[in-house]
Chains A and B, each alone.
Chain A
Amino acid sequence: FPCREFSQMKPLKDLFSRKKDKPSPAGVAASPPGAGGAEKRDAVMEMFEKYREKEEGGPEQIGPEGIFELCNDMKLEPTDVRLLILAWKLGAEQQGYFSKSEWQRGMEGLRADSAETLSARLDSLNRQLASMTASPSFREFYRFSFRFSRQDGQKALEVDTVKALLVTVLPTSHRHVERLIRFLDATPSIRGFNEDQWTSFLLFSHDVAVDFSNFDPDGAWPSMLDDYVEYCKKEGI
C-alpha cells in the first residue's frame, strides 16, 4: 500500500497552523505541588517557556509556532501521528494550542522533560499503540483523534479529514482502511462521518474478516458500512 503524499495531508497540517481569535480556554494554573522532583518540574516549565507564545499579556499557552518549533526539535513532521499522540496524552482541548496546565500535567504524566526524552516517549507510545489496536487505550486514542479533529460545534467530520485521519491513526497494514478509502472516493454522497460511524469502524475492522465471510448484513453496523461491504463485493476486492 503506497505511502500517501504529505501534501495530501493538508487538512491535518492546517490543524496546527490555524490561528484562532478565541482566547485559549485554559486558564493559568498554579503549579501543583506534589510528586516529582522540583528539578523535573523545572525542566518541564523551561520547555514551556521556550515554546510558549511570546505576546505580552497573552494567555499562557503554546501556540502553533511553538508547536512547529517543538516538532523541529524532535525531528518530527507536524503531520506525524506522534503529535496527535502528544495532544492526546496532554488532554489538549483545542487544536493547535497547549495550555500551561495541560502541558505541565501531561509532560509529568509522560515523564519527559526535554525534546529528546519526549521524542523517545512518543516513539515508544506510538509503537505500543500500533501493536495493539484492539486494546482499550488505543480505542480511547482513536476516539480522541476524532473529537479533536472536529470543527467547533460540528457533529461530523468531513470526509477528506476522515480519510487523512484514518491513515494517520491506524497502522498502515490495518485491514479495511485502504478499501474503505476507495469506497469513500467512489461514493461522493458521503460527505462525512459522525462519531458513531467512526467508532464503529474500528470495531468493524477487528471483527469482520477481510473476505467478509463473517459479516452479518442484518447486524447493527451503521448502514454506511453495509454499503461499503456491498461495494467491495461488487468490485470484487
Chain B
Amino acid sequence: AARLPPPPPGGKGGGGGVLRREGKPDRSSTELVDMNSAADVIPLEPGWEKMRGGIDKFTAIMEGGFRESFPLAMHSELYTCCYVMCTQKAPHNWADELYKRYGTMYEQQLEQTVLPAIKAKHGTEMLREFARRWKNHKLLVRQMWKLFVYLDRYYIKKISALPLKAVGVQKFEQVVFNQVKEEVRTGVLQLIEKEREGDMVDRDLLKQVVDVFVEIGDWRPLFPTRVGEEIGDIGQARLNTYVKELETQLLADTSAFYARESSSWIGTDSCPEYMKKAENRLQQEVALVAAYLHSSTEEKLLKEVETQLLANHQSALLDKEETGCRALLREEKTDDLKRMYKLFQRLPNSVTCGLQPISQIVREHIVDVGMSHVRKEEAEKDHSMYAQQLIDLHDQYHAMVQGPFGSNTLFQKVLKEAFEVFVNKDIGQTSTAELLSTFCDNIMKTGGDKFEGEIDTVLDKIVMLFSYLSDKDMFAEFYRKQLSKRLLLNRSASDDDERSLITKLKYRCGAQFTSKLEGMLTDMNVSKDSQNNFAAWMRTSEVNLGIECAVTVLTTGFWPTYKVDEVALPAELLRGIDNFTRYYESRTSHRKLKWIHTLGTCVLTGRFDQKPIELVISTYQACILMLFNQQEEYTTADISSTTKLPMDALMKYMQTLALSKYQILTKSPKGKEIGETDVFTFNRAFTDRQRKIKMSLLVTKVSQDEKLSTKQTVDEDRKHAVEASIVRVMKARKTMAHQQLVLEVSQQLMKLFRPDPKVIKNRIESLISREYLERDKDNQGVYKYLA
C-alpha cells in the first residue's frame, strides 16, 4: 500500500480540513494548503520543471553512486506539487499531462543514458552493465513513484491506466530490453555453457541478469482483466517474457548440449560409468537452476536433460554387452542397478521407455537363470536339493526387487511372471509340485532336515513358490499322500508345524483346498481320544487281548486310497480287530469299518539266542513271522498259501525279512532270487547292537507307481471339477457361447489348475449326451442349460 508522505513541514497554514476531490476525508494532519485560491494555482510547465528537478536530482545521486540520499524536503515538496497539480480544478488539472510526461521522462532517460551505456559494452561486461542499469532503474522508478504517488491512487483508476511502477518497467522493456535482449541472451547462454563445460562463472551476475527477464514481465496488469481469471494465470502471464526470451532458447541449447555429450559418452563409456555421469549432470543442473534460474524452469530443464541423456539412449545403454543391464543383473551389481532404477524412474513410463523395458530385461534374466537351473537339475539323479535351490533363487531376486528396485510393483509383477515360467517346468518325469511336496515332507518328518526354529519362515517361502504353481491340485495330492504316511507311521515331528503349513495354504487357496488335509489331522486327534475310550471299554468289558492294540480310524475321502492285500491274520490280531469293531459299533451307527493293513505297524519281540530284540515291522511282515511260532521252517509256497498273500507281494516281504540288512530269516538255497520252493528258517543266531530295530517297508520317497496314481487321481478330480464348474456357470447364465463358457470355467478353476480347453470341450459333450445341456437350435456355438 502506498504510504502517504507526511505533508511538507511548515507549509502554508490554513484552515481546517479541506475536502479533497471525490469527497474522501483527509488522512494526514490538519495543516493543508488551500487549493482553491487562484493565486496558488500551479501551471503546467513550471510545475513540471519542478518535478523534473527531482528526477534529475535522483538521477544524479544514482550516477554518483548513492553517496547521498534524496533530500526529505524535496521529497515532500514534490509530492505536494504533484498532488496540487492533480487536484486543481480544470483547466488547471494537469493529471493527464503529468502522467504522460512521467512516461516520456523514462523514455528519454533510458534512451539517452541507459541504452547507450549498455550498448557500449560487450560480453560479460555488457551483462554487468545491463544488470546494474536495471537495478538503478528500479530504484529510480521507486523513488519517482513516491513522488507521483497521487497519480497512482486516484488518477489511474479513473482512466484504467497502468500503475506508475508498471509504467516504469514497461518503458525499460520497450526502450532498453527489447533492443539488447538478443545479445544479453546470447551472453547468458554462453556463460551457462561454459559452466556446463566445467569452467567457473559468475553465478551472481547470472542470477541478476536472469532476474531481469523475470521481473521485466512485472508490468503486466496486477488485477484480473477478465472475469474468472486467476492470479495463477497472471503469474504465468508475467513469466511470458522470461519464457519467450530466455527459457525457450535455454531449453533448446540444453537439449543440443546434452545430445552432444551423450553421443560422445555412449560409444565409449560402460553403462555404470555413463549412468554416473548422467546422475552428476542431473545434479548439476538442479544446482544450476537453484543458483540463477527461475524455479519453474527446473522441471522443463530436467526433462530435456533426461530425454537427451537417458531416453534417447536407453536401449543402446541397457543392451551393452559387457556392462549393460543384463550384465549388471548377472554380476549382481546392486549399486549400479539402484542407480539405474533411480534414473530411469524419472522417465515417462512406456513400452520402450522408462522402467518397463528394464523390468522386461529383468524378467528375461530371471527366466534364463531359472531355466538353466531346470536344465541342470534334469541331468541330476537326486532331486532333493532342487526345492531349496528354488527357495534360494527366490530369496535372491526378491531381495533385488526390494532393494535396488525399491519394491516397485512393476518389478514385483515381473518376478512373479518369471517364476511362474520355470516353476511349472517338469524336471524330466517329475513335476516341481512333487518336489516341493517332498521337500515339505523332509521338513515335517522326524529325523528330517532341521531348520532351527526358522521353520515358519521356510514354510512361508514354500508357500510362496507354491503360489507360482499352475497345477496346485497336483501338489495337494502329493502332499496328501505323504502327510498320510507321516501321520500313520507316526513320523510327523510336530503337529503344530503341520497345522501351520496347512493354515498358510488355506489362506492362499481357500478352505476347500485344504479341507481334506485338515480332516486327516482331525482324524488323528479323534483316534487318540477313541483309543483311550477303547482301553476303558475293554477294562469294563473285562477283555484281555494279551497284546496292545491301537487303532486309528480314518474318514474315507480325506485319506488316499490304499491297496489292500488279502491276508489271513494271526489269531491275536483277529481278536483285537473283533473287539475294536464291537466297541466301535457300540459308539456309532451306520458306519462300516474297512481294515487297511498296508499301513499297520507291529512290534514283535524276537527271542533270538543272544538276546531278545524288538522288531518294528509292518502288519504283513508280522503275519509272516508269526507263522514261525508254529513251525521252524516253511517254503515260500507254504507261506503264501497260509497267509493268503499274493505271490508278488509276498516276494517283496520275504526280501526284507531274509535278504536285506536285518536277516531275521535265513533262506536256503542261498542267493538273491526267491523261488517257490525255497525254504525259510527262523534265524536264531541273529543279533544286533540295538535292542529295537525298525524294518518298515513303507518309504516316503515317491515311487513311480505313486506318481502315476497321483496323476490319475488328479486327472479324475479335474474332470469332475470341470464338469461341476460348467454346470454351475450354465445354471446361472442359462445360455452361453462356447468361447465364453470355456473362458469362465477356466477363470473359475484358475486357482487350482489350468484346465485344458480340450478337456472342457470333452466334458461339455459329455454333459450334452447326458442331457444337462443342449446346443441352441439356431446357433451351433451356443449352449443352453436344461433344467
Contacts and interface: CB of A to CB of B under 8 A. Distances in A.
Contacts of A199: 775
Given A200-B780, A218-B739, A223 B768 contact: no
Contact of A203 (B738, B761, B780): B780
A203 B780 CA distance: 8
A155 B738 contact: no
A121 to B, nearest CB: 29
Contact of A220 (B758, B762, B769, B781): B781
B762 A223 contact: yes
A203 B775 CA distance: 12
B470 to A, nearest CB: 20
Contact of B775 (A155, A196, A207, A219): A196
Given A218-B757, A219-B738, A194 B769 contact: yes
Contacts of A220: 737-739, 761, 775, 780-783
Contacts of A195: 769
A203 B776 CA distance: 13
Contacts of B768: 194, 196
B769 A223 contact: no
Nearest to A222: B765
Given A155-B769, A196-B765, A196-B775, A223 B780 contact: no
Given A155-B769, A194-B769, A218-B739, A223 B775 contact: no
B738 A196 contact: no
Contacts of B782: 220
A125 B765 CA distance: 34
A225 to B, nearest CB: 11
Contacts of B737: 220
Contact of A223 (B742, B758, B781, B783): B758
Nearest to A221: B780
A223 B775 CA distance: 14
Interface string B749-772: 000000001100110010011000
Interface string A205-228: 001000000000011111100100
Contacts of A218: 739, 742, 757
Contacts of B775: 196, 199-200, 220
Contacts of A223: 758, 761-762, 765
Contact of B781 (A155, A194, A196, A219): A219
A219 B737 CA distance: 10
B575 to A, nearest CB: 53
Contacts of B738: 219-220
Nearest to B774: A196
Contacts, number: 36
A198 B691 CA distance: 73
A132 B739 CA distance: 31
B739 A196 contact: no
Nearest to A207: B780
- Most chain-A CB neighbours within 10 Å: which of B765, B780, B782? B780
Given A219-B781, A220-B738, A220-B780, A196 B769 contact: yes
A207 B739 CA distance: 18
Interface string B726-762: 0000000000011100100000000000000110011
B775 to A, nearest CB: 7
Contacts of B739: 218-220
Contacts of A226: 761
Nearest to A196: B768
Nearest to B759: A223
A206 to B, nearest CB: 10
Contacts of B742: 218
Nearest to B779: A220
B20 to A, nearest CB: 92
Contacts of A203: 780
Contacts of A222: 761, 765
A223 B757 CA distance: 11
A196 B761 CA distance: 13
A172 B245 CA distance: 87
- Most chain-B CB neighbours within 10 Å: which of A155, A196, A221? A196
Interface in A109-149: none
A155 B765 CA distance: 13
A155 B768 CA distance: 12
A142 B782 CA distance: 21
A155 B739 CA distance: 27
B785 to A, nearest CB: 15
A134 to B, nearest CB: 13
Nearest to A194: B769
A155 to B, nearest CB: 6
- Most chain-B CB neighbours within 10 Å: which of A195, A220, A223? A220
Nearest to B741: A220
A44 to B, nearest CB: 34
Nearest to B782: A220
- Most chain-B CB neighbours within 10 Å: which of A199, A207, A221, A222? A222
Interface in A182-202: 194-196, 199-200
Nearest to B770: A155
B758 to A, nearest CB: 7
A222 B762 CA distance: 8
A73 B762 CA distance: 48
A162 to B, nearest CB: 15
A16 to B, nearest CB: 28
A70 B248 CA distance: 103
B737 to A, nearest CB: 8
A44 B406 CA distance: 93
Nearest to B775: A196
B738 to A, nearest CB: 3
A21 B742 CA distance: 47
Contacts of B761: 220, 222-223, 226
A107 B780 CA distance: 34
Contacts of B762: 223
Interface string B627-650: 000000000000000000000000
A199 B775 CA distance: 10
Nearest to A199: B775
Contacts of B781: 219-220
A157 B780 CA distance: 21
Nearest to B758: A223
A50 B10 CA distance: 154
A223 B768 CA distance: 13
A196 B782 CA distance: 13
A123 B782 CA distance: 37
A221 B742 CA distance: 13
Contacts of A194: 768-769
B287 to A, nearest CB: 60
Contacts of A219: 738-739, 781
Nearest to A203: B780
A133 B758 CA distance: 30
A120 B739 CA distance: 47
Contacts of A221: 780
Contacts of B783: 220
Interface string B704-745: 000000000000000000000000000000000111001000
Interface in B610-668: none
- Most chain-A CB neighbours within 10 Å: which of B737, B757, B765? B765
Contacts of B758: 223
A203 B769 CA distance: 18
B694 to A, nearest CB: 49
A194 B767 CA distance: 12
B244 to A, nearest CB: 60
Interface of A: 155, 194-196, 199-200, 203, 207, 218-223, 226
13 contacts: A155-B769, A195-B769, A196-B775, A200-B775, A207-B780, A218-B757, A219-B738, A219-B739, A219-B781, A220-B775, A221-B780, A223-B758, A226-B761
Top 3 A-B residue pairs of the complex, sorted by shortest distance between their CB atoms: A220-B738, A220-B781, A194-B769
Given A196-B765, A219-B738, A220-B782, 5 more contacts: A196-B775, A218-B739, A218-B757, A220-B775, A220-B781
Interface of B: 737-739, 742, 757-758, 761-762, 765, 768-769, 775, 780-783
